[in-house]
Amino acid sequence: MKKIICCFIVLRSFGIFAQTSAVDFYNAAEDNVKLGFVSEAISDYTQAIELDSSYADAYQSRGFLLERINDDSGAMADYTTYIALEPTNSFRVLSALGKIKYGLKDYSESLKDAS
């Protein structure tokens, strides 16, 4: 298994798996998440967003990773953008946003996100 992961990393670093679109970068990020490469995944999500600033799923996924590495302000920014892009499909993100605000002791804002 380690050999497969190493081969993937080497091939990717030489551009064999070159990304050209937001979807390509998003898919590369998803692969990096599966492999446990969090910073690389965040970078790929960022590239996807730079190519398509309305890519809601990239904001959501990057937000979850940013939250995981305790970048609360970055996660809140991504969650807020996701909610603006996907207002009818935001329950999971609203819950995560409320959890961060609660952890920051911003109880009134946390309640707003929960309701």
Q: Which residues contact 29 (CB under 8 A, 6 or more apart)?
A: 40, 41, 42, 43, 44, 45, 48, 58, 61, 62
More confident residue, 98 or 82: 82
Predicted pLDDT at 28: 96
Phi-psi region of 105 (alpha: psi -120 to 50; beta: other; left: phi over 0): left
The residue among 36, 40, 44 whose CA lies nearest residue 20 is 44
Phi-psi region of 70 (alpha: psi -120 to 50; beta: other; left: phi over 0): left
More confident residue, 65 or 19: 65
Q: For residue range 28-61, what is the model confidence (pLDDT) as tens digits?
A: 999 999 999 999 999 999 999 999 999 999 999 9
Q: Indicate the domain borders of the chain.
A: 2-114
Predicted pLDDT at 33: 97
Predicted pLDDT at 19: 67
The residue among 71, 2, 77, 79 whose CA lies nearest residue 35 is 2
Predicted pLDDT at 71: 97
Looking at the domain covering 2-114, what would its CATH class be?
Answer: mainly alpha
* Interatomic CA distance for residues 48 and 39, integer angstroms: 14
Q: For residue range 2-28, what is the model confidence (pLDDT) as tens digits?
A: 666 555 554 554 444 566 899 999 999
What is the reported pTM?
0.77
Give kind and range of the element (H or E) at residue 46: helix 38-51
Predicted pLDDT at 16: 43
Predicted pLDDT at 14: 42
